[in-house]
């Protein structure tokens, strides 16, 4: 709430400037290259018709219609210039995921371009549909019928995420706290992962927990990852509940319990902005923020992935496609979430490093609102990605030369951008990506325990520049593999991080650094293989409920975070150390060392560049 109010107030003057810049950019972009008069140019509009011609005067209605024209007539097989699909301004509902595969590639050095022709953010693909038919229930709560066969796991009111009705209530719209804390019930129950004991008196026996779940920072005093898991059954006399799946870590660690909250019960629906979904009856209950449903649009996600860009194999990739200026809005979360498998080998598949089973997301959780797999040379430029249930953009396994540039990502369920290169020692699948001029704001809204603005796993030769990440429960940027990995088996060399700004990091998850690395270079010697230059990190102060063991840091070069040249870095206040590392990195001009020279900081180049296509002034 406060964020949006502030933006409106402060952006009046800046908006005029931004609008002027957008106009210039749009004019330049619309100019066709010389000699390109007979290039294919198609048009799509929200009031179009897929039986029409696809011209500016008779546009189609859907992106898939344009894709099929190019695919079925093999227009891209004989390209001598770019093919452009122009999406007119408007909201395009996406009832099922838009898939592109290798048949839809650009050819002969040319590209297939899908663009928002009226300017950045004007044409928006929306992975949601409106819920209608609201009737008053009681206490300012309204209810409506939804299709019980199509459950969903997050909800939005007018482009703002609703909160799944919870207990205890959150203190503010953009904080996760306060919480309850689990207890050690009996000495021999220390290591359990599926039984949760609350403090006697913490739970109200009148609660209906039949469709509830818990979000818990399992691991007690560690307070790192969050699990979100449905409850199986609850014994109020013992203040004990059984979870449907195992949590990542044991419920108790160092004798400390785990922070948690319950959600999705009508018993918890008492705060404006909260909703409850009765999955069995197919009914959703909502308490609108303004006290009335008049003029309120409530949207339920229809897809987990809006745009799926996937070749059929690493040998048969989708390539040379551009998405320019598109809005991508709304996507779903999952029915339950845990980070990875709990033990090495748990994936049940033979791997050179079975420990990586603990690092990689479960197969069911490897997706983004935009997912790329088996791709090459895909451009996502001037994108406005917002209100996702889970990760924003997920680059899974074989992808190279992805460019995500000049884009705003905000209100993201888990990571802004996640790159997963796959199991170490089994092939270098993901490399040469560019992530440049990005503003990534409010991430980890549904998975606070492992959120990162950009999370890079087993990927190398990437360039990350002019990136600004704001408001994260855990990391800003992380580069990770596993500490067991031997040098020849790691694919995380040649990454450049420059002109980086990380603000409001480490808000609610411990053992972190705003900039974080793990298991990148695990053997002596440690030649410089990755560089970090010109980085400003703001205060890294967690919620007061964070256990002492979960200290926050500016730069944390965790186990195997070695072989980095780190220069010109400034860090604000932290609860642990500004910089934590083994003696395996080269540091030049950082403010945790004596003799720091602020005049070497290029402040004017750090963060997003002037002319950024979206108004982020005042954030």
By beta-carbon proximity to Ca ion, the closer residue of 207 and 236 is 207
**Number of CB atoms found within 10 A of residue 405's CB:** 18
Give the closest residue to 388 by CA, choosing from 362, 414, 417, 418: 414
In the complex, least distance from residue 135 CB atom to Ca ion, rounded to whole angstroms = 21
Local structure of residue 20 (DSSP, 8 states): H
Stretch in the footprint of Ca ion (CB under 5 A) among 126-134, 220-228, 262-270, 403-411: 262-270
By beta-carbon proximity to Ca ion, the closer residue of 64 and 211 is 211
How far apart, in whole angstroms, are the C-alpha atoms of residue 375 and residue 317? Answer: 5
By CB under 5 A, is residue 285 in contact with Ca ion?
no
- Strand (E) or helix (H) holding 283: strand 283-286
How far apart, in whole angstroms, are the C-alpha atoms of residue 210 and residue 285? Answer: 16
In the complex, least distance from residue 142 CB atom to Ca ion, rounded to whole angstroms = 16
Local structure of residue 222 (DSSP, 8 states): G
By beta-carbon proximity to Ca ion, the closer residue of 112 and 269 is 269
By beta-carbon proximity to Ca ion, the closer residue of 264 and 534 is 264
Which parts of 315-334 interact with Ca ion (CB under 5 A)? none
Residue from the set 11, 49, 102, 169 that interacts with Ca ion by CB under 5 A? 169
Stretch in the footprint of Ca ion (CB under 5 A) among 109-117, 169-177, 394-402, 565-573: 169-177
In the complex, least distance from residue 199 CB atom to Ca ion, rounded to whole angstroms = 19
Q: Is the peptide bond before 178 cis (omega within 30 degrees of 0)?
A: yes
Residues 6 or more apart in contact with residue 544 via CB below 8 angstroms: 177
By beta-carbon proximity to Ca ion, the closer residue of 68 and 174 is 174
DSSP β-ladder status, 318-324 and 375-381 = parallel
By beta-carbon proximity to Ca ion, the closer residue of 285 and 475 is 285
β-pair partners for 400: 376, 431
In the complex, least distance from residue 141 CB atom to Ca ion, rounded to whole angstroms = 11
Whole-angstrom CA distances from 154 to 330, 334, 390 are 9, 9, 10
β-pair partners for 496: 463, 531
Residues 6 or more apart in contact with residue 375 via CB below 8 angstroms: 309, 310, 311, 317, 318, 319, 398, 399, 400, 402
DSSP β-ladder status, 259-263 and 180-181 = antiparallel
In the complex, least distance from residue 94 CB atom to Ca ion, rounded to whole angstroms = 31
Give the closest residue to 81 by CA, choosing from 127, 48, 120, 113: 113
State the binding string over 364-393 for Ca ion (x if CB under 5 A, else -): ------------------------------
Side-chain-side CA neighbours of 256 within 13 Å: the count stands at: 18
In the complex, least distance from residue 163 CB atom to Ca ion, rounded to whole angstroms = 8
In the complex, least distance from residue 223 CB atom to Ca ion, rounded to whole angstroms = 22
Stretch in the footprint of Ca ion (CB under 5 A) among 269-277, 387-395, 525-533, 601-609: 269-277
How far apart, in whole angstroms, are the C-alpha atoms of residue 179 and residue 545? Answer: 8
In the complex, least distance from residue 168 CB atom to Ca ion, rounded to whole angstroms = 7
In the complex, least distance from residue 165 CB atom to Ca ion, rounded to whole angstroms = 5
Tell me the residue number closest to Ca ion, measured at CB: 268
SS3 67: helix
By beta-carbon proximity to Ca ion, the closer residue of 274 and 543 is 274
Cβ(596)–Cβ(528) under 8 Å?
Answer: no
Stretch in the footprint of Ca ion (CB under 5 A) among 195-203, 214-222, 271-279, 520-528: 271-279
In the complex, least distance from residue 170 CB atom to Ca ion, rounded to whole angstroms = 8
Sign (positive/negative) of CA torsion 281, 283, 284, 286?
negative
Give the closest residue to 439 by CA, choosing from 272, 262, 208, 607: 607
By beta-carbon proximity to Ca ion, the closer residue of 225 and 261 is 261
By beta-carbon proximity to Ca ion, the closer residue of 50 and 270 is 270
Residue from the set 268, 341, 397, 491 that interacts with Ca ion by CB under 5 A? 268
By beta-carbon proximity to Ca ion, the closer residue of 171 and 281 is 171
By beta-carbon proximity to Ca ion, the closer residue of 271 and 577 is 271
In the complex, least distance from residue 269 CB atom to Ca ion, rounded to whole angstroms = 6
State the binding string over 119-158 for Ca ion (x if CB under 5 A, else -): ----------------------------------------
By beta-carbon proximity to Ca ion, the closer residue of 268 and 394 is 268
By beta-carbon proximity to Ca ion, the closer residue of 138 and 237 is 138
Question: Site for Ca ion (CB under 5 A): how many residues?
Answer: 4
Stretch in the footprint of Ca ion (CB under 5 A) among 134-142, 167-175, 368-376, 432-440: 167-175
Stretch in the footprint of Ca ion (CB under 5 A) among 143-151, 165-173, 180-188, 376-384: 165-173
Buried b (16+ CB within 10 A) or exposed e, 124-161: bbbbbbebeebeebeebbbbbebeeeeebbbbbbeeeb
**Number of CB atoms found within 10 A of residue 335's CB:** 15
By beta-carbon proximity to Ca ion, the closer residue of 274 and 468 is 274
In the complex, least distance from residue 265 CB atom to Ca ion, rounded to whole angstroms = 9
Stretch in the footprint of Ca ion (CB under 5 A) among 64-72, 221-229, 268-276, 487-495: 268-276
By beta-carbon proximity to Ca ion, the closer residue of 139 and 604 is 139
How far apart, in whole angstroms, are the C-alpha atoms of residue 64 and residue 392? Answer: 21
SS3 604: helix
In the complex, least distance from residue 292 CB atom to Ca ion, rounded to whole angstroms = 19
Quote the strand ranges of 433-551, DSSP E: 434-443, 454-457, 463-472, 477-480, 496-503, 512-518, 530-537
How far apart, in whole angstroms, are the C-alpha atoms of residue 381 and residue 26? Answer: 13
DSSP β-ladder status, 393-396 and 90-93 = unpaired
How far apart, in whole angstroms, are the C-alpha atoms of residue 71 and residue 96? Answer: 19
Stretch in the footprint of Ca ion (CB under 5 A) among 161-169, 350-358, 396-404, 571-579: 161-169
Cβ(125)–Cβ(335) under 8 Å?
Answer: no
Which parts of 483-542 interact with Ca ion (CB under 5 A)? none
Residue from the set 194, 210, 240, 271 that interacts with Ca ion by CB under 5 A? 271
The distance of Cα 431 from the centroid of its chain, to the nearest Å, equals: 20
Per CB under 5 A, residues contacting Ca ion are: 169, 268, 270-271
């Amino acid at each position: 709430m406060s964020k949006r109010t502030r933006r409106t107030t402060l952006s009046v003057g800046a908006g005029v400037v931004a609008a002027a810049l957008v106009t210039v950019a749009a004019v330049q972009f619309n100019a066709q290259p010389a000699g390109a008069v007979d290039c294919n140019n198609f048009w799509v509009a929200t009031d179009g018709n897929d039986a029409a011609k696809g011209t500016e005067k008779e546009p189609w209605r859907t992106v898939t219609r344009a894709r099929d024209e190019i695919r079925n007539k093999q227009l891209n097989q004989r390209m001598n210039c770019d093919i452009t699909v122009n999406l007119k301004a408007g909201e395009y509902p996406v009832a099922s995921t838009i898939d592109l595969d290798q048949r839809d590639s650009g050819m002969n050095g040319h590209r297939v371009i899908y663009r928002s022709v009226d300017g950045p953010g004007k044409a928006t693909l929306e992975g949601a549909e409106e819920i209608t038919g609201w009737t008053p229930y009681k206490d300012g709560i309204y209810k409506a019928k939804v299709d019980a066969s199509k459950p969903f796991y997050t909800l939005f009111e007018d482009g703002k995420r609703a909160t799944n009705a919870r207990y205890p209530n959150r203190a503010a719209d953009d904080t996760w706290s306060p919480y309850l804390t689990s207890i050690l019930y009996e000495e021999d129950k220390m290591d359990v992962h599926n039984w949760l004991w609350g403090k006697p008196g913490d739970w109200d026996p009148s609660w209906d927990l039949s469709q509830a779940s818990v979000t818990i920072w399992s691991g007690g005093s560690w307070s790192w990852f969050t699990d979100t898991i449905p409850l199986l059954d609850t014994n109020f006399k013992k203040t004990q509940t059984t979870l449907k799946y195992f949590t990542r870590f044991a419920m108790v660690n160092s004798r400390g319990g785990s922070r948690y909250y319950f959600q999705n019960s009508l018993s918890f629906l008492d705060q404006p902005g909260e909703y409850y979904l009765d999955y069995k009856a197919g009914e959703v209950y909502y308490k609108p923020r303004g006290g009335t449903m008049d003029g309120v649009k409530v949207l339920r996600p229809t897809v987990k992935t809006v745009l799926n860009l996937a070749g059929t194999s690493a040998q048969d990739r989708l390539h040379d496609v551009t998405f320019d200026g598109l809005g991508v809005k709304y996507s779903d979360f999952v029915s339950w979430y845990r980070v990875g498998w709990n033990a090495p080998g748990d994936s049940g598949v033979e791997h050179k490093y079975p420990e990586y089973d603990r690092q990689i997301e479960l197969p069911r959780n490897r997706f983004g609102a935009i997912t790329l797999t088996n791709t090459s040379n895909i451009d996502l430029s001037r994108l406005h990605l917002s209100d996702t249930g889970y990760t924003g953009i997920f680059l899974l396994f074989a992808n190279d030369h992805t460019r995500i540039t000049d884009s705003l990502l905000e209100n993201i369920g888990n990571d802004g951008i996640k790159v997963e290169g796959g199991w170490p020692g089994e092939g270098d699948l993901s490399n040469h990506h560019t992530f440049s001029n990005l503003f990534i704001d409010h991430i980890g809204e549904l998975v606070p325990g492992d959120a990162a603005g950009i999370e890079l796993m087993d990927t190398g030769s990437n360039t990350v520049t002019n990136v600004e990440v704001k408001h994260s429960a855990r990391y800003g940027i992380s580069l990770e593999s596993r500490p067991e990995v031997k040098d020849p088996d790691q694919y995380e060399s040649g990454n450049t991080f420059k002109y980086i700004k990380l603000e409001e990091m480490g808000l609610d998850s411990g053992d972190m650094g705003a900039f974080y690395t793990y298991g990148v270079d695990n053997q002596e010697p440690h030649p410089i293989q990755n560089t970090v230059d010109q980085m400003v990190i703001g205060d890294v102060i967690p919620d007061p409920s964070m256990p002492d063991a979960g200290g926050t840091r500016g730069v944390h070069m965790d186990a195997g975070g070695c072989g980095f040249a780190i220069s010109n870095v400034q860090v604000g206040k932290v609860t642990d150390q500004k910089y934590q590392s083994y003696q395996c990195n080269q540091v030049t001009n950082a403010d945790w060392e004596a003799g720091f020279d602020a005049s070497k900081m290029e402040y004017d180049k750090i963060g997003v560049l002037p002319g950024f296509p979206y108004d982020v002034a005042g954030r």
